[in-house]
Each structure stands twice: as structure tokens, then as C-alpha cells.
Amino acid sequence: NADAARLHCLPLHREGSLLVVAMSDPLDLRALNEVEHLIGGRVRPIVTTEAALRRVLQARGEIQAHPRA
């Protein structure tokens, strides 16, 4: 959804009560806190590259692809 693109994260799966999310900056406490607030639970971030995150969000139609120059 739009929150994933805005927060630069992608929910992957649940591990018990935790939601595992891929993030390009897993130390972004503001984003982590907001995700926890949105889902009403705890998250476990894992690191991914910004490029990989962008590709998945584009494939899901959550962000637009940037035209190449």
C-alpha cells in the first residue's frame, strides 16, 4: 500500500507475533515506530537494497517507475 512506499519498507511475513519487513534503512526508528503503530504490533526489520525495494514496489504498482534519461 502507500504506507510501504512512503516508509521505504515492505511487509514480508509473520513470525509469531512479529511482522518481518524489508527496509533499505532498518535503523530508521521513525519508520519502524510508524509501522508498529499502523499494525498494532511489533516488527522485525531486515535489510535490503533501495534498488531491490524499489523494484518490488514498482512491480506491485505502489510506486511509478522513473524513466531513464
Encode pLDDT of 28-66 as tens digits: 999 999 999 999 999 999 999 999 998 988 888 877 766
Contacts of 7 (CB under 8 A, 6+ apart): 28, 31, 34, 35
Band the pLDDT of 67: cuts 50, 70, 90: low
Band the pLDDT of 13: cuts 50, 70, 90: very high
Contacts of 65 (CB under 8 A, 6+ apart): 58
Does the pTM surpass 0.85? The reply is: no
